[in-house]
Chain A
Amino acid sequence: MDLLDDPAPGQNTPEFTVSEISGAVKRTLEGEFGRIRVRGEVSRVVKARSGHMYYDIKDDRNQLACTTWKGQVARLNVIPEEGLEVVVTGRITAYGAQSKYNMNVDEVAVAGKGALMALLEKRKKTLEAEGLFDPARKKPLPYLPEIIGVVTSPSGAVIRDILHRLRDRFPRKVLIWPVAVQGEKCAPEVARAIAGFNAMTPGGALPRPDLLIVARGGGSVEDLWGFNEETVARAAAASEIPLISAVGHETDTTLIDYVSDRRAPTPTAAAELAVPVRHELIAWVEQQDARMRQALSQGLTRRDQRLRDMARALPRPDTLLDTPRQLVDTRGARLAPALIAGVQRRKVRLADVSGSLRPSTLQRAWASEDKRFQTISSRLDPALARALQVKKNSFAAQAPRFRPEALHRDLDRKKETFRAFVQRLSEAGHRQTAALRDKIEAAERLRLTLGYEATLQRGFAVVRSDGVLVTGSEAARKAARLEIQFADGRVTVGGKAPGRKGSAKPPQQGSLF
């Protein structure tokens, strides 16, 4: 019964190998959906070393793994970037080796201008914070550049417009650095071109331009996106050569426009900013030349005219002398009469003065003076006598007041005082003398008491030998002669040999004690 593994009911399901089912799933997925567009936010972007890109597109609940192969990446207009809202186009497929499905994306578009602008705003803020938009950083453009470097696509209307406008205004040497102006290559190539122009040396084999124009025609935001890349903006900011940006139309402002030294609304406008109009300059130079000639000739004319005017205003030499000459004449004429009149006037005055000068006048004056002298001298004697009398009277009045009594009184008083002093002095002298005398007597009495003479009165005697005092028996024995003094006189003992005399003496001496 059970020898055969009969399939149970419902067990007639077809059996696949893993690869068979994987292939079937892959075909089903690809066939079912075909080419589709999916909208979502980019996240977890990984760019592999191989050049392939792996990233997710997600909404608030799910995520879809996406791949873009190296060859496809090069053709993308927008490179997926973390957080960017995009619409990706491609096919759903499966990767059987990992039992995963994903989407192969060959086109990426930004999901809306709003999303892209938000990204641009973020970059702008970053660069602005670094000061790259500072107006002080902007370099002035050269007035007439010798060589203009243009970074753009070598084919197309843009370079044609620029060259055309340059030709109209002022033909110049132009170096074109060809770049891709959209797609993935755009940003690195433009950045490289700007740096490359800056690396050239002025006057070298590749002569360095003195002005750069980075240009691109109009297009969608996505088309222009390469010029919003940070690498491009940083290369433009780092450029030492003044740089004009002309990307898109007037309404399109890309990141490079904020850092460039000037922004032109169109490529044609960039050419206009780059060079002045040649024929206008030629006209200007001619005009300057004309003005210069005119200024010089005017200067000469003005000087000439002034000279003439002044020459006209100069009077003739003759007329200059007329007035002084006339002056000389009139003064000369007045000279002689003036002299005569002067002498006449002085003569009259002399006559007036000398008329009153006569001897009688002098005598009269003399007599008058003499008389005055007589009068005064007669008054001299009485005046003297009168004065003398006045002094005498005055003396007589004063004399009785001078009397000697007062002086005598004073003298007596002083004599009396003197006498008293002498009296006191004499008394004091007597008192002092008596006191001294008493003292001397007392001293004498004391002396007599203490002296040996008083002792003699009481029976003692003094022994001498040849005038020298003998105080011991030994000396008395040796003495040839002894002299003994008593109270009432002296006695001489001996005149014998010293030995005997000495033996005779001691009892006498001993009797003394």
Chain B
Amino acid sequence: MTDTPVTDMSFEQAMSELEKVLGQLERGDVALDESIALYERGAALKKRCEEKLKEAEEKVAAITLDGDGTATGTKPVEGL
């Protein structure tokens, strides 16, 4: 298990941790107390995955450039 707090994990990290937790639970070779702790961790990881999946917001912007071709800022792009 990684030491990264669940709430700081990227979707990919949370996903791979969730798979590990599930693997351990399904093997069924952990003590009862530990399996409950695993379940709780799994629930937190699942929550983190759902959070990241909810952040599915489309926002399209185009870089604005000055005369030398250097980026100066962004402007929203509509209608694409």
From the candidates B21, B49, B50, B56, name the one contacting A292 in the complex (CB within 8 A). Answer: B21
Across the two chains, which residue of chain A brings its CB closest to B46?
Answer: A289
Across the two chains, which residue of chain B brings its CB closest to A281?
Answer: B53
Across the two chains, which residue of chain B brings its CB closest to A295?
Answer: B25
**Are the C-beta atoms of A295 and B58 separated by less than 8 Å?**
no
Across the two chains, which residue of chain B brings its CB closest to A293?
Answer: B39
Q: What residues of chain B lie closer than 8 Å to A160, measured between beta carbons?
A: 80
Q: What CA separation (Å) do A437 and B33 show in the bound complex?
A: 140
Please, what's the 1-or-0 string for B11-22, where 1 marks a CB less than 8 Å from any CB in chain A? Answer: 110010011011
Q: What CA separation (Å) do A225 and B80 show in the bound complex?
A: 27
In this complex, the member of B11, B12, B53, B63 whose beta carbon has the largest number of chain A beta carbons within 10 angstroms is: B63
**Are the C-beta atoms of B71 and A144 separated by less than 8 Å?**
no
**Are the C-beta atoms of B25 and A292 separated by less than 8 Å?**
yes
Binds B, one of A29-37, A165-173, A323-331, A400-408: A165-173
Q: What residues of chain A lie closer than 8 Å to B12, measured between beta carbons?
A: 142-144
Q: What residues of chain B lie closer than 8 Å to A193, measured between beta carbons?
A: 63
Given contacts A154-B77, A160-B80, contact A173 B46 (CB under 8 A): no
**Are the C-beta atoms of A206 and B60 separated by less than 8 Å?**
no
Q: What residues of chain B lie closer than 8 Å to A291, measured between beta carbons?
A: 22, 26
From the candidates B32, B36, B63, B80, name the one contacting A196 in the complex (CB within 8 A). Answer: B63
Q: How far is the CB of B27 from chain A (nearest CB, A)?
A: 9
Residue A278 at the chain B interface, CB threshold 8 Å: yes
**Are the C-beta atoms of A196 and B71 separated by less than 8 Å?**
yes
Across the two chains, which residue of chain A brings its CB closest to B63?
Answer: A177
Residue B67 at the chain A interface, CB threshold 8 Å: no
**Are the C-beta atoms of B49 and A281 separated by less than 8 Å?**
yes
**Are the C-beta atoms of B46 and A292 separated by less than 8 Å?**
yes
Q: What CA separation (Å) do A282 and B77 show in the bound complex?
A: 28
Interface residues on A, range: 35 or more
Residue B28 at the chain A interface, CB threshold 8 Å: yes
Q: What residues of chain A lie closer than 8 Å to B35, measured between beta carbons?
A: 296, 299
Residue A298 at the chain B interface, CB threshold 8 Å: yes
**Are the C-beta atoms of A173 and B59 separated by less than 8 Å?**
yes
**Are the C-beta atoms of A206 and B46 separated by less than 8 Å?**
no
Residue A85 at the chain B interface, CB threshold 8 Å: no
Q: What residues of chain B lie closer than 8 Å to A292, measured between beta carbons?
A: 21-22, 25, 39, 42-43, 46
Please, what's the 1-or-0 string for B65-80, where 1 marks a CB less than 8 Å from any CB in chain A? Answer: 1000111011001001
Q: How many A-B residue pairs have CB under 8 A?
A: 109
Q: What CA separation (Å) do A422 and B12 show in the bound complex?
A: 138
Across the two chains, which residue of chain B brings its CB closest to A143?
Answer: B12
Q: What CA separation (Å) do A193 and B64 show in the bound complex?
A: 11
Q: How far is the CB of A189 from chain B (nearest CB, A)?
A: 7
Q: What residues of chain B lie closer than 8 Å to A282, measured between beta carbons?
A: 50, 53
Q: What residues of chain B lie closer than 8 Å to A296, measured between beta carbons?
A: 25, 35-36, 39
Q: What CA separation (Å) do A295 and B28 show in the bound complex?
A: 8
**Are the C-beta atoms of B63 and A174 separated by less than 8 Å?**
no
Interface residues on B, range: 35 or more
Q: What CA separation (Å) do A229 and B1 show in the bound complex?
A: 46
Q: How far is the CB of A139 from chain B (nearest CB, A)?
A: 15
Across the two chains, which residue of chain B brings its CB closest to A166?
Answer: B58
Q: What residues of chain A lie closer than 8 Å to B63, measured between beta carbons?
A: 175-178, 193, 196, 206
Q: What CA separation (Å) do A163 and B80 show in the bound complex?
A: 7
Q: What CA separation (Å) do A411 and B69 show in the bound complex?
A: 154
Given contacts A176-B61, A192-B69, A289-B46, contact A144 B10 (CB under 8 A): yes
Please, what's the 1-or-0 string for B21-55, where 1 marks a CB less than 8 Å from any CB in chain A? Answer: 11001101000100110010011001001101100
Q: What CA separation (Å) do A173 and B57 show in the bound complex?
A: 7
Q: What CA separation (Å) do A300 and B35 show in the bound complex?
A: 10
Residue A308 at the chain B interface, CB threshold 8 Å: no
Q: What residues of chain B lie closer than 8 Å to A142, measured between beta carbons?
A: 12
In this complex, the member of A178, A189, A205, A289 whose beta carbon has the largest number of chain B beta carbons within 10 angstroms is: A289
Q: How far is the CB of B61 from chain A (nearest CB, A)?
A: 6
In this complex, the member of B50, B57, B71, B80 whose beta carbon has the largest number of chain A beta carbons within 10 angstroms is: B80
**Are the C-beta atoms of A144 and B26 separated by less than 8 Å?**
no
Residue A159 at the chain B interface, CB threshold 8 Å: yes
Kindly identify, within residues 146 to 168 of chain A, every residue whose CB is under 8 Å from any CB belonging to chain B: 154, 159-160, 163, 166-167
Across the two chains, which residue of chain B brings its CB closest to A171?
Answer: B58
Residue A426 at the chain B interface, CB threshold 8 Å: no
Q: What CA separation (Å) do A142 and B12 show in the bound complex?
A: 8
Q: What residues of chain B lie closer than 8 Å to A302, measured between beta carbons?
A: 28
In this complex, the member of A142, A175, A188, A278 whose beta carbon has the largest number of chain B beta carbons within 10 angstroms is: A175
Q: What residues of chain A lie closer than 8 Å to B36, measured between beta carbons?
A: 296
**Are the C-beta atoms of A175 and B61 separated by less than 8 Å?**
yes
Residue A303 at the chain B interface, CB threshold 8 Å: yes
Q: How far is the CB of A32 from chain B (nearest CB, A)?
A: 43
**Are the C-beta atoms of A144 and B61 separated by less than 8 Å?**
no
Across the two chains, which residue of chain A brings its CB closest to B64?
Answer: A178
Please, what's the 1-or-0 string for A175-216, where 1 marks a CB less than 8 Å from any CB in chain B? Answer: 111100000000011001100100010000110000000000
Residue A475 at the chain B interface, CB threshold 8 Å: no
Q: How far is the CB of A281 from chain B (nearest CB, A)?
A: 6
Q: How far is the CB of A310 from chain B (nearest CB, A)?
A: 15
Q: How far is the CB of B12 from chain A (nearest CB, A)?
A: 4
Q: What residues of chain B lie closer than 8 Å to A192, measured between beta carbons?
A: 69
5 interchain pairs, CB-CB under 8 A: A167-B58, A174-B60, A196-B71, A288-B22, A288-B42
User: What are the 9 tightest A-B residue pairs by CB atom distance, in nearest-first order?
Assistant: A171-B58, A143-B12, A295-B25, A176-B62, A144-B11, A295-B26, A292-B42, A173-B59, A174-B60
